[in-house]
Amino acid sequence: MRGGGGTGAAGPALLAAWEGRSAEAWEGRLSVQTVEFHGTVSSTNDRARVLVGEGWPVPAVVVADRQSAGRGRRGRRWVSDSPLGLWFTVAWEVGEGVVGGLPLRVGLGVARGVESVAPGLRVEVKWPNDLFVDGRKLGGILCERCGDHVLAGVGLNLDHERGDFPAALASAATSVRLAAGRGVARAHVLAEVMDRLAGLRAGPQSGIPASELAELEARSPLAGRSLWIDGIVRHSSGHPRTVEAHPVTAGTVLADGSLEVRDDAGRRLRFIAGTVRRQ
C-alpha cells in the first residue's frame, strides 16, 4: 500500500487520504494491492508504469486530482488539469496474451459504473476507446502494455459546467453534471467503476465475450453510419493496408476488437486501428 506524504525515492508527493477515506481504506474498498492518490501528476498512466517497473504489487491504482500532461491515443493531449473530473489508471498482470478489444471492454465497464451512479444516463461506447452521451464526449480510455502488465487509463468529465471546458472543446464535450442535470461524487464513481472492472481483471484478456459484443453494439453510436476512416484495414483475402479518408459504412465490433466496415464496393473489411469521422 502506498500512502502518506513525502517525496524523493518513493516518487512524487502522495495524499494520505482522498475524498474522506484513507489510502489504506481505499485499498480494501477497491480490492487492489497498491494505491496512490496524488494532487497532481503528469499522467496517471506514466505514474502507473513507474510503479509496475519498480515491482509494486498489482492490481494497482493511481488517481490524481489533476494531470498536467494527460494524454490519449497517439499521444494526443487530454485536458485533465482540473479536479472536476476523475482521472485514474488501473494496472494488472496479463502475461503475454493478446489484449485486443481491451479498451472497449474497459469502456463498457466504465459506462456501466457511471450509469449506476447517475440513473437515467445512457453512455455510448464509441470505437475504439471513447465514451459519449448525446453526441458529446464524456470520457476516454487509454490502454497500454508494460511488459506483462496492462495499464488502463480512464478519464471522465464529471462536474464540469459548459464554461469549464476550453473554448475549442466546449461544443464537443460534456460531463455527467451537464448530461444528468446534477453532480456526482468522484469517490462514488471510482468505487462503482472499479467494481465493474474487477471481473475483467480476473478473466481472460484474449477477446471480447459474445455478451459484451451484444451490449457494445447496442451502445455504439457508429453502427450503420457513413464514415471516413484513417488507419489500418484488413480484407479476408489480403494483407493489412493503410487507408486515408476512406469512405465506409460502419458495422459491428468483432471479438478481436476490430470494427467491421463495408466499403463502397460492398466488401467487408476489418478496421484494425485508426480514427473514424462521420461523413
Strand-pairing partners, residue 152, are: 90, 143
Does residue 59 have a cis bond before it (omega within 30 degrees)? yes
Do 271 and 229 form a contact (C-beta atoms < 8 A)? Answer: yes
> Which of left, alpha, beta for 184 (phi over 0: left; psi -120 to 50: alpha)?
beta
Question: Domain extents for the chain?
Answer: 17-219, 226-278
Residue 114 neighbours by CB under 8 Å, 6+ apart: 121, 123, 131, 138, 156, 176, 189, 192, 193
Taking 50 as the threshold, does the pLDDT of residue 69 lie above it? yes
Cell of 128: 475504439
Q: Do the domains 226-278 and 17-219 match in fold?
A: no
Return the C-alpha torsion angle 139, 243, 213, 105, nearest 10: -40
pLDDT digits (tens, 9 = 90+) for 120-134: 999 999 999 999 999
Closest CA to 142 of 158, 155, 153, 157: 153
Strands, sheet with 85-93, edge to edge from the N-terminal-most edge strand:
34-41, 60-67, 85-93, 149-157, 136-146, 130-133, 124-126
- pLDDT at 79 (0 to 100): 72
Most confident range (mean pLDDT) of 55-59, 65-69, 71-75, 231-235 is 55-59
- pLDDT at 6 (0 to 100): 38
Do 91 and 51 form a contact (C-beta atoms < 8 A)? Answer: yes
Taking 60 as the threshold, does the pLDDT of residue 19 lie above it? yes
Tell me how far apart the alpha carbons of residues 197 and 21 are, in angstroms, rounded to a whole number.
Answer: 21
Beta strands in the chain (DSSP E): 17-18, 21-22, 34-41, 60-67, 85-93, 124-126, 130-133, 136-146, 149-157, 226-235, 241-253, 259-263, 268-278
Query: Within a 10 A sphere around the Cβ of 117, how many other Cβ atoms?
Result: 18
- pLDDT at 5 (0 to 100): 42
17-219: CATH topology is: BirA Bifunctional Protein; domain 2 (3.30.930)
pLDDT digits (tens, 9 = 90+) for 150-200: 999 999 999 999 999 998 888 999 999 999 999 999 999 999 999 999 988
CATH architecture of 226-278: Roll (2.30)
Closest CA to 127 of 241, 219, 249, 208: 219
Distance of CA 11 to the CA centre of its chain: 25
- pLDDT at 100 (0 to 100): 77
Most confident range (mean pLDDT) of 69-78, 79-88, 251-260 is 251-260
74 — pLDDT class (breaks 50, 70, 90): low
Taking 50 as the threshold, does the pLDDT of residue 8 lie above it? no
Query: Within a 10 A sphere around the Cβ of 237, how many other Cβ atoms?
Result: 6
Cell of 180: 444528468
Taking 80 as the threshold, does the pLDDT of residue 279 lie above it? yes
Average pLDDT of the segment spanning 5-18:
65
**Of the given ranges (74-83, 206-215, 236-245, 258-267), which has the lowest mean pLDDT?**
74-83
Do 130 and 137 form a contact (C-beta atoms < 8 A)? Answer: yes
Cell of 183: 453532480
Closest CA to 145 of 200, 102, 199, 197: 102
